[in-house]
Amino acid sequence: MSAVPLRRSLLFVPGESRRKIEKSTTLPADSVVLDLEDAVAPANKPQARQIVREALQSLDFGTRERLVRVNAWQSGLLPDDVRDTIAARPDGYVIPKVNNVEELRHACAVIVEHARAQGLDAQRLAVLAIIETALGVMNLPAIAAFGAPLQALIFGADDLAADVGMIRTPSNLEVLYPRTAVAIAAAAYGLQAIDLVFFDLHDEAGLEAECRFGRQLGYSGKMVIHPAQLAVVNRAFSPSAEEIARAQRIIQAAEAHGYSAFALDGRMVDAPIIKQAQNVLARARAAGLIQ
Ligand code: COA
Ligand code: MG
């Protein structure tokens, strides 16, 4: 499998809207997710599949990753979603409401089967799983351990709230446990962790704060639902100039101290701090901010 792409921003675009899909090809999203699931009314699914297929075949998405969100395994719609879109060669599929590893295995088997039927290399297709049900949270260790082609876990807060009977608040405190659990499960198996949707389209400060906390938890990217959110999210999930400078100073000082514990600006630096600095520099490199 080729290198895992940078996924700071995953822009969701309703699969039934040719206009929004066209617009997405001009927007600064790392990944575009053409949605066949909850953005599309049940009666419009067949039509949306055709629109998505045709758009993937005819539009130039530039360097943006092209993903399709299919319907959940339990819906019974997933095989037709894959069958009708795979010939248009998306870069991968986003699978929602993954309850357990068996569902993920079934979904991946369908993808591989249809890819082979089209003479495509199934190994080139990425899979991203949304964890957004109580069962999905309970079964995180096995889901995260699935292996290729799974590249990322996405945390879906609002379906989870509906499933559990949570009451959503702007504080996000009610989802702190599953949000943390998804980030840790992803890290345990070398997967990317993609954070929840921010629904208020015009609250830039709120979005920025939510991005910052997601990063604090270990998330590397975020779902985006409106073009106005993209700049904030891309910036928030790229290390800042100050973070990069600080990380470079730590690494330089660590090299000078032979990687044993030392003090820098009145704070202790030892192996975990050095590892965090290395993480910052790796993310900066992936975002093209340093060499
Ligand atoms: N992708 C691409 N373009 C989008 C977009 C999106 N997700 N959301 C809005 N746009 C475009 C609009 O088409 C419009 O461009 P235009 O004037 O050239 O047509 C422009 O951005 C401004 O949009 P605006 O008028 O502010 O929003 P709206 O009322 O058209 O749409 C939503 C609001 C919420 C319906 C829309 O943002 C959307 O569809 N979001 C994604 C929904 C989704 O996929 N949900 C499932 C995943 S959680
Ligand atoms: Mg959902």
The overall average pLDDT reported for the chain is 96
Q: Are residues 224 and 150 in the same domain?
A: yes
Note the pLDDT tens digit of each residue in 26-80.
Answer: 999 999 999 999 999 999 999 999 999 999 999 999 999 999 999 999 999 999 9
Nearest 10 degrees: CA dihedral of 248, 250, 255, 260?
-160
Q: Which atom of ligand 1 is found nearest the CA of 14?
A: 44
Across the strands, what pairs with 224? 11
Ligand nearest to the CA of 38: 1
CB of 202 closer than 6 A to ligand 1? Answer: no
Ligand nearest to the CA of 197: 1
Question: How many domains is the chain built from?
Answer: 2
Residue 72 maps to a domain: yes
Residue 1 maps to a domain: no
Q: Are residues 180 and 260 in the same domain?
A: no
Residue 2 maps to a domain: no
CB of 226 closer than 6 A to ligand 1? Answer: yes
195 carries an active-site annotation: no
Could you say which residues of the chain have pLDDT below 50? 1
CB of 168 closer than 6 A to ligand 1? Answer: no
Are the CB atoms for 234 and 39 separated by under 8 Å? no
Q: Are residues 74 and 194 in the same domain?
A: yes
Q: Are residues 87 and 187 in the same domain?
A: yes
Distance 268 CA to ligand 2 centre (A): 42
The span from the CA of 230 to the CA of 247, in Å, is 26
Q: Which residue range is the domain that position 231 belongs to?
A: 9-236
Q: Please tell me the residue having the least CA distance from ligand 1 atom 9.
A: 226
Which CATH number fits the domain that encloses residue 178? Answer: 3.20.20.60
CB of 12 closer than 6 A to ligand 1? Answer: yes
The predicted structure's pLDDT at residue 3: 80
Q: Are residues 166 and 253 in the same domain?
A: no
Name the active-site residue from 30, 121, 159, 270: 270
